[in-house]
Amino acid sequence: MTTPQTENHQPIGLDVGSSRVVAARSVDGKYKYESQLNAFLTVPYSRLAASLLERDNVFHEVQGADILVIGEDAQGLAEVFHVPIRRPMLNGVINPQEPHGIAVLRRIIGKLLGKSAEGQKVFFSVPAPAIAGNDGIAFHKASIGHLLTELGYAPTPFEEGLAVVFGELDASNFTGIGISFGSGMCNACLALLSMPVISFSVSGAGDFIDTQAALVTGDLADHIRLQKEKTFRLNGLTSDRVHNALNVYYQEMIGNLVQALRSHLASAKRLPRMEKPIPLVLSGGTAIPKGFLECFEKVLRSEEFPVRLSEIRVAADPLNSTARGALMAALC
């Protein structure tokens, strides 16, 4: 991976996701993305182990009696030893019960961005207010902002659903509904001319699906996640028990999000009058499996929807959509 030179003063968009951290830059008029798995694994410290990891260029950090193997390298090591990886974040925010969480995020963000000597702008994604309440959002926002400030950047938090609008709906003057189905949370935003009208998040996203499917199949959640990313198709029940478990919890997640979206729109006291139908775009890694769009549209069309829609589509690049939207906001 090539880190930017300090003389590069262009703004950066940063998607701080529970599963992956993605940095977006504009290079020669094109978008460039770099990402790292937001995960780690601990192994006991020894001088030999540390030197071997250093020799093999494994992404790691020594923390007292532990060596933290970070990012993609953690996933590879976990598969070798058949152990679960650990996550710095839970339900879309920093996990307060994870003692190494902030240290791991500091290393991942530092690896992706490098240091800035000139107060380079970074817009970073944060969850919208959660329906059920989430006291961790303020701490998460402040912590990520502090890490970026330590690296010399000028950080600005930017809600994830609105970032999807910025990243995907420029053709409709940034008017429409953007939904991000991530690992920690699902974020939704209705925006009019780039201004958020309704914005919220709900829990029970990709990690919830993996955990619940693992409970009913007896498998590791990491194995479920890998199978979901490689072969899963959302197309009803089959003879495969993992597929069936994923299908059930995907249906639950989509149903909960659509119900929340319908409720927010229907109860809004000052919903702006929109004379034309608006687009709705789906993004995030959890929206990638084939059949997701058809399932979402079926659930949404099962009852009357409060606003007219011109289209429902999945983003062309759902893994990078939030980072791209944050970058576009930073460039404005």
Segment 69-115, tens digit of pLDDT: 999 999 989 888 888 899 999 999 999 999 999 999 999 999 999 99
Percent over 90 (pLDDT), the chain:
82
**Nearest Cα residue to 93 out of 69, 61, 123, 129:** 129
Coil, helix or strand at residue 92? coil
Compute the average pLDDT of residues 129-156.
91
AA letter at 143: S
| Residue 186 near residue 253 (C-beta atoms within 8 A) | yes
Question: For residue 57, what are its two tokens?
Answer: 């260029």
Q: What is the pLDDT of residues 242-259, one digit of tens each?
A: 999 999 999 999 999 999
Question: For residue 25, what are its two tokens?
Answer: 């830059």
Flag the least confident range among 63-67, 168-172, 208-212, 229-233.
229-233
Q: Is the pLDDT of residue 7 over 60?
A: no
CA–CA distance, 174 with 167 (Å, rounded to integer): 9
Question: For residue 298, what are its two tokens?
Answer: 């079926």
What pTM was computed for the model?
0.93
Q: Is the pLDDT of residue 292 over 60?
A: yes
CA–CA distance, 128 with 188 (Å, rounded to integer): 8
Position 120 scores a pLDDT of 95
Compute the average pLDDT of residues 290-317.
96
Please give the domain boundaries of the chain with CATH numbers for all domains.
Answer: 165-314 (3.30.420.40)
**Terminal CA-to-CA distance of the chain, rounded, Å?**
27
Position 227 scores a pLDDT of 83
Per-residue b/e over 72-104, b at no fewer than 16 CB within 10 Å? ebbbebbeeeeeebbbbbbbbbbbeebebbbbb
What secondary structure letter does DSSP report for 322?
H
Flag the least confident range among 44-58, 129-143, 254-268, 292-306.
129-143
Output the average pLDDT for the chain: 93
Q: Between 206-217 and 221-230, two packed helices, what is the crossing angle to 10 degrees?
A: 110
Position 5 scores a pLDDT of 44
CA–CA distance, 297 with 292 (Å, rounded to integer): 9
Compute the average pLDDT of residues 9-20.
95
Element housing 132 (H / E): none
Q: Is the pLDDT of residue 6 over 60?
A: no
